[in-house]
């Protein structure tokens, strides 16, 4: 991955998860679905992004997940499509990169002013445990990504509409219908419950 001579770490927006999700929902409704047929990879390219794939997160150059500079960005995503249940790692990583670009890089450019084109912004793949800012940036990126590719309301609706009986089977059913991993479905089911969209296995309208 190319790293500009001058870079700064991304800084968190310090807003609520709900605010991030509402922004992701707007991006999904106004840009992703009508302009790119739901493909986050097409959307990333349209934004000036380059997506580099690797079969492991330990490959050379994978320490930095995301670098943005001069209005463009490069993201190193992990491609585990050879493992069926992780088939959406590319989609999640790409959606996360879009979130960093539209949220954190936008504020970075405002913050840096005229110097924005020569000072890049980087997002670490694995923040150090004591780096609160980097951890918050990653959390915000994940919140955006999960809502962009598998909105909590859609997951809740599919979960309630599944005719299967066990929780495991219902999660598999939802993952298959929404074409995302079971892991993402579990995360968004938990979120849907927090939001009151799922309660006692019934969808609240």
Question: What was the pLDDT predicted at 22?
Answer: 98
Question: What was the pLDDT predicted at 57?
Answer: 59
Question: What was the pLDDT predicted at 84?
Answer: 54
Question: What was the pLDDT predicted at 83?
Answer: 65
Question: What was the pLDDT predicted at 82?
Answer: 67
CA atoms within 13 A on the CB side of 124: 14
Handedness of CA 93, 96, 98, 101 (dihedral sign): negative
d(CA 8, CA 71): 15
CB 174 within 8 A of CB 155: yes
What does the DSSP assignment read for 137-196? Answer: HHHHHHHHHHHHHS-HHHHHHHHHH----SHHHHHHHHHHHHTS-HHHHHHHHHHHHHTT
Question: What was the pLDDT predicted at 205?
Answer: 38
CB 125 within 8 A of CB 62: yes
Question: What was the pLDDT predicted at 80?
Answer: 74
Question: What was the pLDDT predicted at 36?
Answer: 97
Question: What was the pLDDT predicted at 2?
Answer: 57
Q: Give the pLDDT means over successive 10-residue stretches in the chain (205 positions).
A: 78 97 98 96 96 69 76 87 67 95 96 92 89 95 97 95 90 91 93 88 43
Residue 183, strand partner residues? none
What pTM does this model have?
0.90
């Amino acid at each position: 991955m190319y790293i500009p001579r001058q870079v700064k770490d991304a800084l968190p927006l310090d807003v609520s998860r709900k605010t991030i999700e509402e922004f992701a929902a707007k991006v999904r409704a106004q840009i992703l679905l009508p302009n790119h047929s739901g493909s986050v990879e097409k959307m990333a390219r349209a934004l000036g992004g380059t997506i580099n794939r690797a079969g492991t997160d330990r490959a050379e150059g994978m320490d930095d997940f995301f670098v943005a500079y001069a209005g463009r960005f490069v993201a190193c995503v992990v491609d585990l499509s050879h493992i069926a249940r992780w088939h959406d790692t590319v989609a999640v990583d790409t959606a996360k990169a879009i979130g960093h670009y539209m949220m954190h890089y936008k504020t970075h450019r405002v913050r840096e002013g005229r110097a924005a084109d020569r000072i890049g912004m980087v997002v670490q793949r694995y923040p150090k445990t004591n780096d609160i800012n980097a951890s918050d940036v990653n959390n915000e990126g994940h919140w955006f990504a999960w809502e962009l590719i598998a909105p909590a309301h859609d997951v809740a609706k599919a979960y309630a509409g599944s005719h299967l009986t066990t929780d495991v089977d219902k999660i598999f059913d939802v993952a298959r219908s929404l074409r995302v991993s079971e892991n993402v479905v579990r995360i968004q089911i938990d979120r849907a419950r927090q939001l009151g969209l799922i309660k006692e296995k019934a969808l609240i309208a």
